[in-house]
Amino acid sequence: MDIGVQVNTSAIQTISQLISTDEQLNSITGLHSFKLLDTIEQLFCQFYLVACHHKHANLFFYMIPIISRVLSPAIFFPSKEEILSNLPKCFNNYSNVRIVLDCTEISVQKPKCLCCRVKTYSHYKSGQTLKFLVGVSPAGLITFVSRIMAAEHQINQFLNKVI
């Protein structure tokens, strides 16, 4: 027996209805202002119209640089004062920490090219991956994203190439 549930959709609020100030927007998204959010939306919409004419396989490769260009202004390194004013309690004994770095590996499809397969193979993940560094402030704001490197690089080689 199917049981139906009635939902009053007029009582459901969207995220945009819940965010009314720049401070709330910054807290939820890390963006500093609605002006920046509107700019990102406008740029994405302009590029999306162009991208719709591409085939799906090419759309991914077409959109990555666009998304990078649109979102890169949202990644910034806050001042020491900003970091200290938002320092979580668990960092009280580590007040000199400005960034936490993490080397992240993401799985990718196995390339057809044998040389590319060798470069992207990760023994740690037992498959094809790409690596990049992500820097996060103690309060959780993404402050740095490196360029992508092949999985073949060891962490010390990786750090020397991206920093």
Average pLDDT, the chain: 76
Tell me if 152 sits within 8 A of 118, measured CB to CB: yes
68 and 40 Cβ atoms separated by less than 8 Å:
no
Please check the confidence at residue 24 and state whether its pLDDT lies above 70.
yes
pLDDT digits (tens, 9 = 90+) for 60-89: 666 677 777 777 777 888 888 888 888 888
Residue 130, pLDDT > 80, answer yes
Residue with tokens 């459901």: 12
